[in-house]
Structures are given as structure tokens and as C-alpha cells.
Structure 1
Amino acid sequence: SAFVTVTVSRTGLKPGSYTDTIAMTSNAGDRSVKVNIDVPGLSYTPTSIDFGSTETEINLSITNIGSGSLSWSLSKSISWLSLSQTSGFNQAGETKVVTVSVPRIGREGITPGTHTDTITITSNGGNAKIPVTILVPGLGLSPTMLDFDSSDTQKTFTISNTGAGSLIWQATKSQAWLSFTPTSGTVAAGQSINVTVNVSRTDLSPGDYSDTISITYNGGSGSVSVKMGIPKLSFTPTLLDFGTSTNQKTFTITNSGGGVLTWQATKKANWLTITPTTGSVSAGQSINVTATVNRTDLAPGTYADTIALTSNGGSGNIAVSMAIPGLAFSPTSLTFSGTETTKTLTITNSGGGTLTWSASKTQTWLSLSLTSGSLDAGKSVSITVTVTRGNLNPGTYKDTITIKTNVGDGQVPVTMLIASPSMSISPTSLDFGTTTTQKTFTITNTGGGTLTWFIDTGKLPNWLSANPMSGSLTAGNSANVTVTVNRAGMNSGDYKSEITVNSNAGVGQVSVIMSVPPPSLALNPDKLDFGSKETLLEFRITNTGGGTLIWNAVSDRNWLFISRDPNQEGWKSEIKGGTTGPYGSTRIYVMVVRRGPPGTYTGNISISSNGSPVSRGVVSVSMVISVEGVIPIE
């Protein structure tokens, strides 16, 4: 046997199936061998791939348009280009699809612009190259931050396509106070579009607000920051009171909200100045404003104005007050005559605010009840001015009350006259009647200087006394003298005397009349109740007049006994010839002896006397016997 090698060449053959016959002749006979070959064919579509600016996947179809089996492989260069399959086999007429893709979420990582690559197909049915093109748009934002500050309501930013193809974008935000238009669109390569952004501060509280406009596009994403402030005007204090002496005060303006507070301060009065009058304050910050008043050439009184604050965060008012006191006093001079010792000086604040004052003098004979103080607007104070003549010699004396205040000074001349002493006595007669024991008369120095006086004791009877017996009085002063009469031991009748007062201003007399009434009877008590146990009680016989009261006492019951001194005279039913001196009293003891059956017993002790107008009296007596028998005398 022998081997024969058969070789075929497919070069230049079109895809398809081919057959032939090998004829063999020999001396042993003829034979033939049939030969078949398959030629695969490569077909693909599309012949070029263009992703443009939005496509992310395109299908590549590979078909065996020949016969047999088509063996193929794919290759590319750029990393952003992906192939779902890089090799395979296709039977005759079979088509396989390979997905060609670029990044699905945008075109991250790819520089904006036009990019190309080539997919190379290598197969046993031929080779091919497929050009690939991708357009990558670029997002340009300007500006990337919008600051609406405290008053702006509208701003714009620009979206630009800095790459290739079409930029397809959409914008979103979070906050309701933020709006913009348009919210989406398409921008060709190299072109731009303006987006108008609006903010609304309606119903929002003061403060700082922020949001982000998020922009997504077919090449990635971007953002624009938005911030907005709502300022709020706060100030303290709300009242500036400069009083009567302060010239400068400050108040503080604060932005208690967000953003920047722009403010302005105005006033009306010429005497008030403000610095600064305008300004701006960032969120949470403050500024001090100085207010100054000028009192020059202003009349006394109370002044007021208002500092009006206006701002983009509200408005408010600060009340301003200032006072200029005024000094007024009345009278403008004081003269003390020979007997006057006190006068009133009135100081008044005739302006506004508070008047602070002090008063002084030089001479020791002059004194002031108040020497300093303060007065509100329209108020007055009364000062008692007193002169003390003491031992000063008669004549004319002068001094000056100097008044010093926080708005000026004043002077009040003071004149004091001292005349010679003069004695006045009142009353000049004292009538003690029948019962009065004490009365007074008054000695007064109605002149000037010092009055010295004394009572001549050698001319006073025993029943008459006075206290004090001497003294001295400065001008206008008085002394009370108490006069006492003593009727004890005196017989009834009328008595007269005189009290002689000697002084360095002459002699004065006070006549005294006293009456001593006749003896008169009084009983105390006039009822005695022994009850069921008492055996010994007492009452008094009193002489309410002068002279000697002569009296008799008689019991009308055999169980009722009387005695002036049981130890000396024993117990009796009758006392005769008893006596009681002028204005004196006598004690009478009373004893009962309980005899007889139980019951209530009554009796009387009758007293008769030489008294007038009362000469008789009765002491009623009662007792109770609860058990029959006799209770012995103890």
C-alpha cells in the first residue's frame, strides 16, 4: 500500500462548499476519490459604531455567510469600551450578537470630548476592523455658589457643555423656599444656558438657610450651593434716660437672625446726636451706637425724642429722655420779728429730672430742719428755719442761707430782731371752787432776750403752793406753773391769796380763790351682803367737805352689830358722837350673828350727821342662814 497526501487551498475561494474527484488508474484497474471542502465567510453589522453622547450599548452581529465553522475573536484598545464576548464559533448561516458598551452611568472617568477606538475581528472567514466613536459632554457651572445674602431674591447660574455631543441635564433641590427655571434641558457642545434661581422669605423665621441644586447629566453630575439669610433687628436697651447729668449713652444693635442686617437710625431733636447712623451687621454680631445729648442753652424742663431704627430685618424705636432741673425758692428773704422763732423756706424743682440741693448757714443762732436732698420735677420741699435768741443781747442779727444745686446756686438773706424781754402772765386769776386742787398759769417772754423770773414764797399761805418757783425764758418761749391748794384740816369758808411773780421785766400777780365746803356725809359702800358664810365686813363714813363731820350710827336688827375698833370698844348696836375730819373717812366694822331658822335676813345701819347738803344715809345689810343655829363670833 501507499499513502497519498491531498492538499487543498481556499485562497481566493468565495465562502461556500466545494467538491472534486481524484481519478486513479492502475494496471490493476481504475478507481476515484471524492473530495469536499467548506469555506466559511465572515459577515458583520454594523460596520461602524457611533455611541454619540447618550448611547451606552450597541449590538454587533457576526454571521457565518459561508459553510463549515467560522472561528472568530475580537479585540479593542480603550478601557472604557467593553465587549460582552471576545471569541466564538458560528456554523454556516449562524449569527451571534456581541454587546458593545460604554459606562452605563454617565461617562464617568472619560474626559469630555470626542473619543475613538477600533474593534478588530480576526476569523477563519476573513478579518475586519470596525471603527468606534463616543461623544462625552462636559458640565460647566458658573457660579457654583449663589449667596442671596439678606435681600436678594433672584440670581442666575450658567450651565455650559464643555465637551462634545449634547449635554442632557436635570436639576433638583430640597427646600420649598428655593425655585428655579428651567429644571432640565439639552445643551449642544460649546453652548450654554442660563438658569434663573428665586428665593422666597415669606413666613420664614430669621436665620441662615442653605440648599443645594443637584444637577445630573449624561456625563456625570454637579451641584450649585445656595444660601440665604433672613436678618432680624434686635436692640437693647429700649430706653435711654440721660437724667440730669449724663451726656452720653450707648445702645446695641444685634442681628439675631441670619445674613447681613443693614440698618439706619434717625432722630428729630437738635440736642440729640447719634453715631454711627447707618451700618451693617453679620448674623449673630452686634454693633454699639453712641447717643449724645447737649443741654447748652436749653431751658429747665423735661425733653424727649425717639431714635427710629429701620432695617431689612425689621424696625423699632428707642425712647430718649433728658431732664434739666431748675432751682426756685420762696421766700427770697426771711425776717424774724421780736417774737418769731420759726419760718418756712420752700425749695422747688422748676425744671425736669432730679434737682440735688444742699443748704448751709453761718451763725449758730440759725438752724435748718433739712440741709440737703433731691427733688423730682415739679416737686418742693419745705425747710423749717429756726432762730434761737438764747442769751443774745437785744439788737439786729443777720446771716445768709446758701443753696447749692446741680444747676446753680441761690441765697436767702436772714434777719433776726431781738427786743428787750417782756413778761406776760395768763390767766391772772385762778378759782379752785370747792373741789379743784390744781390749776396752772403760763409765764411768757413776749419780748426779746431772756426773761428771768421767780415767785415770792414769803407771800404764800400754807394751803397754797406753786411749781416751779423760778426759771428763765428766751424770746417767745413760755413756762407753765402748777398751783396746788390743800383743804385738809381747814374749816369751811372762802380763802383768797395772791402769787407774786418777780422778773427782770417787772412784777406780775395771780389772784387765787378757794372755797372749803361744810362737812357732808358719804357712805362707801352702802350695801353689805354677808351671804351664808361671811361674818365680818366693813364700810366707810367719809367727810366730803371741810370742818368736822359729827355722826351717829344705829343698827335696827339684834343680829347686826357695828364697831370702830372691836378690840377697843367692842361690838355695839349704836355709836353716838362719832367724828370725821375735813375730807377724811372713818372705817366702820360690821358683824352679823346667825340666829334663827334658815332663811334670808335683811337689816339697816342708819347714819345721821351734821353734814350738808347730805346729812343722812343708810347701809343696807343682808345675810343667809342655811342651817338653824348660831354661828359664834370669831
Structure 2
Amino acid sequence: MHQCLRCNNPCANDVAFCQKCQIALLESSPGQEHSSTFFSAGTQGHVLSPAKPPVSALPKLPVTPALSELSPISAEHMFPSSLVPTTPRPAYRRTWVRRHWRIIAAVLLLLALADGALAFFYFRLGQGGSAQPALVLEKSVVAHGETIELRLSSFTPRAHVRITRDMQVAVRLLQTLALPHNQPDNYVQIDEAGKARVRLRIDANWEAGEHIVQAEDATTRNVAHATLHVVGAVQPPSLQLSQTTLDMGASLQGSNSIQSLRLRNTGGGTISWTIGNVKPAWLFTTPTFGTFSDGQTIFLAVSRAGLQPGEYKGSLLIMASTGGMQKVTVKMTVKPLPGDPGPVLTVSPPAIAASTFDGATDAVEGTLKITNTGNKQLHWSLASQVQLASLSEESGFQQRIEWLHVDPRMGNIAPGKTEIVHLSMHSQSLFTDVYSGIISFQADQKALNSPQSIALSLVVRPPCEVRPSVTSIMARVSVGQQMTLPHQLSLHVPTGCHAKLSWQASSQSDWLTISPAQGTLDAQSSTDMALTVDATKLAPGMYTGSFVLKTAQSSQMVSVQATVLPTGPQTTSILVVTPTHLSFTLSPGQASSTQQSLSLANTGQAGLSWQITGGASWLLIQTLQGALDAGSSVDIPVRVTAAGLAAGSYTTQVQVTATDNAGQAVISGPQTVAINLIVAQQTVQSCTFSASPSTLTFQATLLDTTPQAQEIALASTGACGGTWNASTDASWISLSSTTGSNTSGGNKLSIAVNSAGKILGTYRGHVTLTAYDSNGASIKGSPQVITIVLNVLG
């Protein structure tokens, strides 16, 4: 016989509770049939274990559907902590429990409904809503030095939006409340209404011509585009490399070496580049192409796998949009493995370059080979995995995103065998940019070539989207008529996008329609669109409209300017002035600029007279009035002067007005041209000192203790003057000179070594170079420390 743990009455069966107490507990349980786990136990002190009661011992009770999802009462509620027998609960307590569970259930149900409503609201606003995010520019034509306002709407509330131009070049927004704290200056904080306003300054990195400004929602990845035309001239872009010779040093067979190379733009605009003609096969680069305005870092890597001991030299060419190409020379030394090497870690290739598209859902896959080139068992593991946000020298909003996965992360390899490691790069959460990673593998302490590092990059290209052939269209139509403009616009998909893309076009103006309004395209096809201007409800004059082209998560605005002509005799005069902005850059006191021109054209059917008014004292316009016959044009020379002007930015406007033969203003109305003058502050190029290469390696033997001397190139740029000094911390290193003068042509310093009295092995020393300007102050880049490696062989 056993006692019931609840009422202390004797039980015939080996159960925790008697039948009466089981029924009482079941009735008071909120889940009823769902709370059907009981516990069997012996006397107090025994371990409780789950056990199902006999079915015949339980009465059939109804199920309560409204509470079916609630969890059963926990064991703490069913058993007193001391397991002391108790008397049954009174009926009023069971009623209290039921009432409170009903209240709790009702609250949970309301919370579930509210959660569903919030999810639906978020879906409508952020994910599946019909409102497409929009980017509107304050004006579409600007000059260098100007600022414009960007207006964002229909984005996810409280989201971060990244602003770029030309798909992957970061812009610098002026500080406003919309810029999030501690984030890069090209990120915008959207407000609760899904809107934001920020200002953008057009600096020297913006080349003259057409640019695409892009806003991408970090939450939904929706993209809005707008077209901006920049007028004026800037300093041309110029590519500069941090070094043109890289010494990867000496290491054992099968090892890798990695160094970075910085690409800099010392001018204005942007630079696109690609790697070409890499020789030989042991030399790798990542990434292999890119675009930047300020600078970008690439990695060069060498693999000594499968190479015989000795010295190796290779090269690669960097071809840039600036014209020409620059050569980078890479050298290294391969040392032999010892006779009984034990386990040897070899990982190849030493660098991987991958690419994908913004918004792609499939991961980019890659493989590495880990080989044991030794003669004993090798145990390896992943030592570290560093993921960098961007190689384009922009701090990234997504610094902590884990986009790189390695599998497997450890293993055992027999001598001469190879194991494959799979890399998965996930770009779903990455913006258009260049991302990098460094993976390091390690092996047992006795293994050679441990650890080994691999450099990789993932280029996230602009999203696959349908793009228009032009972003602005001009049309002429008579009042009261409809005119269709066929073949003015075509749609295409960029090369490299393999999927078929669906698109839609919707007019933002009631007088403009587009046909077809939707379709599907791939990279091998294109679609011509017809635009219809309805002037039946328009008065004579000029109208500006637009339509939006949508592809998946992107939108592009295309503007349409329509001139509505009056009916009757063809005596209309129309004045067209281009460009609407002129920009000049002069030095303080410079008397005159290079000539630019305003083009005035009469595109109507009758003559007109024109005149130019407004301007400033520093603006020189040769002709201020004239006449144009129908269909004719004239170029008006424009110059500026900086005489008497301090450094700074100056802006003025001129207005071009025209009247027809009857003395009435032409229907195109007066037109305004903005003219910008930047008087640049003259600066002296800062003085910079450099020395290359950063490492010299010598090979000596017991018989030949004085290998051939090598040279270090010393260079100074800017108005340096002054001198440089050289010193060494090793007695076996000799310098051809310990001092010299800083000259723009550069200097050579000869380094010699002497291994006399040294046993077999590797020795390291250093040469320190310190440069001073003409005032005796240390200049930029100073001091430089050169590493000297001496290998004494048998």
C-alpha cells in the first residue's frame, strides 16, 4: 500500500496520487487533457519519474479550445516543495484559479491579436506596402561647390538609409539631425513618417556630367534613384600607389605571404580600375577590380606551394580609367623544408576574389585546399576569422555583420593528403561595396608553416534592375493635341544579371502616359517604350512631368519636359538656353579664366530677339543681346576674373529673355543660368618622406661572407629641403652614407652586410632613416625603419 501525496489516504496502486486527487487536480488544471503528465513515486525521498495513469482511472472531461495553447501547470504548482501531504483544495479556490486563468488567457489573446496587427502594419509599411520609396532632389543641375537638398519618403520608419552615387561611391552629407549618431556621414535616419531631409555638397570628387544618386533602405533593401547633372570642371583624377615593389620575404615551401597595397586618388572625380596581366601563377590579388573616389586597399598574396627553393619575381598591371597602367613588382624567396619535417600545413590558394549582386539570395561558394606536405599526421583548426566592413576606406554601418562561414573548422590529414574546406559568403545583408576577410588556420605546435592566412574579398555589385536608356526627355506638341513619342526611351538589364526581371512604369503627371506599362526583361533583351503627351487640357507653355520605373525593390525617376505650342499660323518662337550652370575655378588674383560658352537656340518657326541681364562684377560676358532666326543658334563666350577676390566660392545668376517679332515674350519664358566661381586657396604641397623597399634580404655562406650590396631609394615630395640621417642597430650592417640632402629627384642609400664570425641561421637588423625639413622639424613619413634579413647558409 502507498499513501497519496496530496490527501495522505492509502492508495492501492503504485501512484503518486489517489484517483480522487487525480480528478481534482485535472479539473483545476488550465489545460485539462493537455496537462496529463503525472509522476510516480514511492515514499518520500524517492526520485520522481514521468508515468501515464491508467486510462480507466480518469473520467472523460471536455476540452477547452480557447485555452488549448496554454502551457500545463508546472511541477512546482502540483507538488509542495516539502512534499508534505495536504488536504484537497476547497471549491472556492478551484473557482478562483479558473477565473484567473480565463483572465490570463484573454490578455494573451489580445496580445496575440495586437502582435498580428503590428506585424501586418509593418509588412504594409516596410515590406509589402504599395508605396515605393522615393528620392527627390531639390534641383537636377548643380555646379561644384553648391549644396542641394535630398528629400526621402515612403521608407521604413526609423530605418537607416545609405546614400551613394554612381551605385557604389559614398557621398558626404552635411550634418543635420537626420544623420544618426556615431555613423558614417552618408547614412540617414528616417523619421516615424518614413521621411527625411538632408543636404549634400557637390565637392571636387564629383566629375562633370550625369550622376545617379541612390538611397537604399537598410531594413527592406528598397532602393530609390534620382539623376543629378553636375556642370563645370574639376581637377582630373590621378592614381597613386602606396608602393610599386613588394618584398614578400623568405619562407618555407608551402607557406603563404600577404601584403596590402593602397590605391589613392590624388585628384578629383572617381577612378575605376582592374587587375590585368598577372604573372606568374603563384601571385594572387583580391579584389581584382573596383571603383573609388578617395582610396581603396587591395591584398597581394603569394603561394610557395609546389615551388622549388630559390628566389622568385613576378609582376602585375593595374589598369585605371585615368589612362595608362601601373606596374607592381613582387618578389619572394622559397626556403627548403628540412629532411624530416614532420607535419607541414599548406593552404591554397592564398587569396580568393568573389562577387555577387546587391539583394542576391544565394550564397557565393568557394573552396580551399588544406594539404599536409609533411611526413607525419597533421591536426589543423580554424585559428581566426576577421571580417572587415569595407575596402574602400569608408567606415561601414554594417561592421558586425557575419557574412563569411567556414566549414569544416578542423580536421586531421595524413601525410600527402588533402582536405577541402568550403567557404560560404552571404550578401543578403550587405550593401553595394567591397568587403574583405582574413582567415587563419593553425596546426599542432610541431607543424611547420603554422599559422597560415588567406585573404579574400566579396564585391557586392549594384542590384540587378531594369534601367532606362535616358533619364530625361524633351517633347514638343501643339495645344489641344495628343502626340506619341516612339523610340525615345528603351529599357535594358545590365550585363551579368542572369534572372528575368519584372518591371512597372507609372506616370506622375496626368498629361503623360507610358506604353507598355509593365513587362519582363533579361540581359539579352530590351524594350522600346512609347510616351504620349496629352495637350488637350494644357495651355501653351513649358511643362515638366515624370514617371517612375520600378523593378522589384528599386525605383528610378525619368523626367519629361514638354513644350506646348499654340495652334494657328506657325509663327511661334522658342528659346532654349544650355547649359543652365557654368562653373569656374581660379587662383587668387588670376585675371581671366578659360573661356566657356552659353548656347542660345531658337527651336521655333519665327525669329526672336534676346538679351542677357544680371551677373556680377567678376563675370565677363562678351555679348549681351542679339537676334536669332528660326532654327538658328549662337554661342556666347563667358569668362570670369578673380582679380581682387579672396579665396572662396562665389555664385551669381544671369537671366536670358526673348521676345518674338511682335514684341511679345516667347512661350518658353525667361531662362536662368547659374554661374559659380571658386577661388581656390593656394597651398604648398606638404612635404613627405619615403623609403623603399621596406625589407632587404641577403644570402651569405660560410665561404662568401659579403654578398652583393643592395640599395634603398629615398624620396621626398613637396617643398621639403633639409636633410636625412641614417643609423643601424646591427654591427654587421654597413651604410654607404649616414646623412644626405632631401631632393625631389631622390637619393640612393647602399646597404652592405658581413656575416663573418656568424654560424648558420637567420639574423635580423634594422636601418632607421629620419628626415628633417629646412626648419629642422621631422617631416611626414619620418622616421622610416628598413628591416635587414641575413640568411647564413652552409
TM-score of the superposed pair, with normalisation by structure 2: 0.19
User: Greater helix percent: which structure?
Assistant: 2
User: Greater strand percent: which structure?
Assistant: 1
| RCO comparison, higher one (Cα < 8 Å, 6+) | 2
TM-score of the superposed pair, with normalisation by structure 1: 0.23
| Greater radius of gyration (CA) | 1
